[in-house]
Homo-oligomer: A and B are copies of this chain.
Amino acid sequence: MTDTIPHWLSKQADLSPSHPAIELDDGTIVTFSELKESSQRFARKLTHLGVEKGSHVGILSTNQIPMLIAIHALSYLGAVGVLLNTRLTNEELNYQLKDANVSFLLTSVLLKEQASMLDVEITQSFFDIEALPEKETPLETEINLEAVFTIIYTSGTTGFPKGVVHTYGNHWWSAVGSALNLGLQKHDKWLIPLPIFHVSGLSTSIKSVIYGMPIYLLEKFDTKTVHNALMEKQITIVSVVTMMVQRLLDELSKASYPKELRCLLLGGGPAPKALLERAKEKNVPVFQSYGMTETASQIVTLSPMDALEKLGSAGKPLFPARLKIENQADAQVGEIFVKGPMVTTGYYNNKSANEKSIQEGWLATGDLGYLDEEGYLYVVDRRNDLIISGGENIYPSEIEGVLSGMKQIKEAGVTGRKDETWGQVPVAFIVKGMEVSMEEIKAYLQTRLAKYKQPKEFYFVKELPRNAANKLVRNRLIQELNK
């Protein structure tokens, strides 16, 4: 019954043809009608290249209009977009490209040179594609909600990045759940300062199409640019991470935002209570939320009505999502499980991860939390030692895996250290097998780990703290240091 809907961009272009879909800082405006036309044209050019239904197409780009056009073009062809983090090293990218069976790579002009060194059959810039002739081809007029639309990689606890599969239905229900939670106003305009290759940016650009709402798209977060946009561009909602709220509050000084700004949707890890209180003092409407790539953006949000009373909570699960706490570590805290039509159907081509994490639709998040007596979620700890640095997720096990790959290193333990600017930064504890210098290690990591994942400090130790079962106890690493 609910399997098929009209193609969402075509539908919105029909409902609101001349309404802005994308707005840039330089005043550029793309309407829904123009976005549809450009995406369909782009799709016909991609066909010329050989992209077809079911093709896996990598997208390596910072936020820009051609990137969005390329993503929508894929939906018109029934192709799957694999969204790649531009901050990764080529080695990391190659792993994802191979794992996701990517045979075409689309990239921005600026990244073309880097991209052409990757292991993909065909690499073209958006600009290259624009120059191709169009090939007459039947475009999708409907969307099957159960079909796969995008894949985004996340490292998880295993150390090996896993491709999170998003169906059209995941994105659709995420948009609906978010609207039922945050409301939907005629003049809504959502600012995206976060990368579209992450689920937060991607999901907002899809909400835009489903709601008929303009997004205000920035290439990256810059405090002054975002501040000015919030002040002058009638922004009503903005997606942020903790570090951004901090900087925006500093910038705000004694002024206050226009009343149109109704929501700073805060994702990417628990926020310090002091920050939330500072926002409250300044009447800045920060909404705490909880979500992950696997939930196609926020799945728990603190509703406007509760925002003041439940400071520090991530709120309640969106309609129609569910949440439970299981495998309790103590009387209260346990592992957070979520279920709902916005939750991924699984990791790409990864049976063991799927069996481990998803049962009867319930996703084991690996995160720890508890519910208070009124059912509000408090996230105590992100999944097993996850480090969140400026909104990027960093998995200690992934870095440890790379470090252990260096022959001079016997074993390594990585953990997060608090950092004023980034929230957390990774630091490494190393047990040498042979003599090795810090500089050699840094050089080794250079090509193997994205910059944001590279440990900011290295400590050489005799042994790593382990528990009775000989399992590394990461939260004791820092304590060891202070002994």
Please report A residues at the B interface, Cβ cutoff 8 Å.
Answer: 1-2, 5-6, 8, 11-12, 14-17, 19, 145-146, 167, 169, 173, 176, 179-180, 183-186, 210-212, 303-305, 316, 319-320, 322, 341, 345, 374-375
Contact = CB atoms under 8 A, between A and B. Distances in A.
Contacts of A210: 180, 319
A468 to B, nearest CB: 40
Contacts of A167: 1
Copies of this subunit: 2
B341 A15 contact: no
Given A2-B173, A8-B320, A186-B304, 19 more contacts: A1-B145, A1-B167, A1-B169, A1-B345, A2-B169, A5-B319, A5-B341, A6-B320, A6-B322, A11-B320, A14-B316, A15-B303, A17-B374, A176-B180, A179-B179, A180-B212, A183-B183, A183-B185, A185-B185
A303 B184 CA distance: 14
A176 B212 CA distance: 14
A318 to B, nearest CB: 9
A78 to B, nearest CB: 18
B179 A180 contact: yes
Smallest CB-CB A-B distances: 6 pairs: A5-B320, A183-B184, A2-B341, A184-B184, A2-B2, A183-B185
A180 B316 contact: no
A173 B1 CA distance: 11
A234 to B, nearest CB: 16
B11 A305 contact: no
A210 B318 CA distance: 11
A167 B15 CA distance: 27
A206 to B, nearest CB: 13
A396 B340 CA distance: 47
A15 B186 contact: no
A319 B211 CA distance: 9
Contact of A1 (B5, B146, B180): B146
Contact of A183 (B6, B19, B186, B322): B186
A184 B179 contact: yes
Contacts of A185: 183, 185
Nearest to A17: B374
